[in-house]
Structure 1
Amino acid sequence: MQVGAHVSISSSKVDSDEETPPHGNIANAVSRQVAFGGNCGQIFTTSPRVWQEPDIEDDEAETFRRETEEKLAGPWVIHASYLVNLCTPKDGLREKSINSMQTEVDAAATLGVPYVNVHLGAHTGAGVEGGLENAASALDELDIPDGVTVLIESDAGSGTKLGGDFEHLATVLEESEQDLDVCLDTAHAFAAGYDLSTEEGVHETVAELDDIVGLEHLKYIHLNDSKHECGTNKDEHALIGEGLIGEEGMRAFINHPDLADVPMALETPTEDGKGFAWNIQRVREYREA
């Protein structure tokens, strides 16, 4: 089973660390993942809330790659900046988004990370069709290195944000000239109206994803419970099994036979003394032997 957390790459010590990591660079992510009990996971290469290029020294990248190979069983995924908006009709934001994505896929190649995950963004008046066309054409401007794949993440679908409907993901994959795949976020899908709270709902949702997108394109899962009801378009994550997807839905999803080999990264909160280590252990307990 490949499961891990979204971890920090900074040199600082965080409250949920069991001990200070031995590295003062991006290799901290591996140490933190191991401390949480994870064997794969997700990182940002820079702050996701500013336009900033990754700053990774060659020796740091070498240490990260070596530590990953020695200590982890599954792949990393890099999450692109929250500022990236591939659907935008605004030329300036589009250019910044493309440039930011190019630095991320280049960083992924440097680090030996196979995936870069990104939200489609909001069409802000361009309309659904126009926004999806904008996203596909923006992705087509990237020079994606060999061994790196961009993953389009499912969204909660609030406002003019796209990606909440599986058809949105399928359209971008079809219209883009790039070889793209997808990342399914369980909390986002639930918020967008895909009921994952029951075993029947999980099987229906996975079947629909297969029919519309194709499960062969599902390369990563963001495994999160939800603090809000299905179809509310509200994106707020909950501890595994303690949100409105709940234990039945989480168990059914984690044990779905078509998802058994897909790596999962948690983006769960730290609440009531329960952090990533607790959530990863909960996932392992839910996985049937």
Structure 2
Amino acid sequence: MRVGAHTSIAGGAYNAVDEQVEYGGNCGQIFSHSPQVWQDPNIDDDEAERFRDLTDENGVGPWVIHSSYLVNLCTPKDDLREKSIDSMQKEVDAADKLDVEYVNVHLGAHTGAGVDGGLDNAASALDELDIPDGVTVLVESDAGSGTKLGGEFEHLAEVLDRSSQDLEICVDTAHAFAAGYDLSTVEGVNETVAEFDEVVGLDKLACIHLNDSKHECGTNKDEHAHVGEGEIGVEGMQTILTHEALADVPFVLETPTEDGKSFAWNIERARELAGAE
């Protein structure tokens, strides 16, 4: 079972590996720079080599780089589109340097372009990337508030279909739940997995962000909770973690650090619910 958390590269990208091992994780996610600003990853050769070596030594992987929060692939605005493409190119290049397999990105908001226009914008923006061999861009599911796209599995399928790139998908459980996919029961999880397979294809599911939700199903509110302690709850989380169709998919946690519960607590909780303890 591959389960880990989002860890920090503060002081050097290699520190994310040590932090992951400390939490008990064996896969994980990082930002290559502060996600709230337009910034280059700026990872030097020695730092990258140490990250790769520590990853190999500790058997941690796959890793995911999460793109900047400012990236908006769906935008109709030329300046934001160009900044988003430039930022994504630097992310996939950083992933190549670090031997990180995936770069994860939200589609963003169409802000008036309409669903169809926004999906076309996203697909064509992704098509402008020169993605290195060994790196795959993951399109992440969204909570679906406002004009943000990715809340419906159909949005994800359309971008994969419209783009010439070999893209895959990351489903965030809290986002999917907020978007209206009921993951709180055995039946709900089974139906959601079956719908994803029919609409997108389970062969395109490369990663799951394992987050519980502080808000009810269909509220479009994106706020994460500890594993098993939110509205998805123990039954839903346990069903996701033990679902036969998801057995080979890595789980990456973006759970909060509050109530005295850390990433280590959530990783242990996930393993416990999966029967891996």
| TM-score interval, smaller chain | over 0.9
Q: Distance in 2 between matches of 1:72 and 1:48?
A: 27
**What is the CA distance between 1:272 and its match in structure 2?**
1.1
Q: Distance in 1 between matches of 2:251 and 2:242?
A: 12
Q: Distance in 2 between matches of 1:73 and 1:232?
A: 35
Q: Give the letter aligned to residue 261 of structure 1.
A: D
Please say if 1:74 is aligned against 2:73.
no
Q: Distance in 2 between matches of 1:175 and 1:270?
A: 38
Q: Which residue of 2 aligns with 1:230?
A: 217
Q: Which residue of 2 aligns with 1:117?
A: 104
Equivalent in 89, 96, 100 of residue 102 of structure 1: 89
Q: Distance in 1 between matches of 2:60 and 2:84?
A: 32
Once the two structures are superposed, residues 50-84 of structure 1 have per-residue CA deviations (whole angstroms, 9 ceiling, x without a partner) of 00010111011000001001113421000000000
1:162 alignment partner, SS class = coil
- Aligned-pair identity in percent equals 74
Q: Distance in 1 between matches of 2:94 and 2:59?
A: 19
Q: Distance in 1 between matches of 2:214 and 2:69?
A: 21
1:219 alignment partner, SS class = strand
Q: Which residue of 2 aligns with 1:9?
A: 9
Once the two structures are superposed, residues 80-113 of structure 1 have per-residue CA deviations (whole angstroms, 9 ceiling, x without a partner) of 0000000000000000000000000000000000
Q: How does 1:157-236 map to 2 (within 5 A)?
A: 157-236=144-223
Q: Is the 2:127–2:165 Cα contact (8 Å) retained in structure 1?
A: yes
Q: Give the letter aligned to residue 169 of structure 1.
A: L
Please say if 1:139 is aligned against 2:98.
no
**What is the CA distance between 1:288 and its match in structure 2?**
2.7
Q: Distance in 2 between matches of 1:110 and 1:278?
A: 31
Q: Which residue of 2 aligns with 1:38?
A: 25
Which contiguous aligned blocks of 4+ residues in structure 1 show a shift greater than 2 angstroms?
none
2:143 alignment partner, SS class = coil
Q: Is the 2:25–2:60 Cα contact (8 Å) retained in structure 1?
A: no
The TM-score with structure 1 as length reference comes to: 0.95
Equivalent in 38, 47, 51 of residue 60 of structure 1: 47
**What is the CA distance between 1:269 and its match in structure 2?**
0.2
Unmatched runs of 5 consecutive residues or more in structure 1:
12-24
Q: How does 1:237-256 map to 2 (within 5 A)?
A: 237-256=224-243
Q: What is the total number of aligned residue pairs between the two structures?
A: 276
Q: Distance in 1 between matches of 2:59 and 2:85?
A: 31
Equivalent in 244, 250, 254 of residue 263 of structure 1: 250
Q: Is the 2:73–2:108 Cα contact (8 Å) retained in structure 1?
A: yes
Q: Distance in 1 between matches of 2:44 and 2:83?
A: 23
1:252 alignment partner, SS class = helix
**What is the CA distance between 1:270 and its match in structure 2?**
1.0
Q: Distance in 2 between matches of 1:95 and 1:219?
A: 27
Once the two structures are superposed, residues 165-194 of structure 1 have per-residue CA deviations (whole angstroms, 9 ceiling, x without a partner) of 000000000000000000000000000000
Q: Distance in 2 between matches of 1:248 and 1:264?
A: 17
Q: Which residue of 2 aligns with 1:51?
A: 38
The TM-score with structure 2 as length reference comes to: 0.99
Q: Is the 2:74–2:119 Cα contact (8 Å) retained in structure 1?
A: yes
Q: Distance in 1 between matches of 2:209 and 2:81?
A: 26
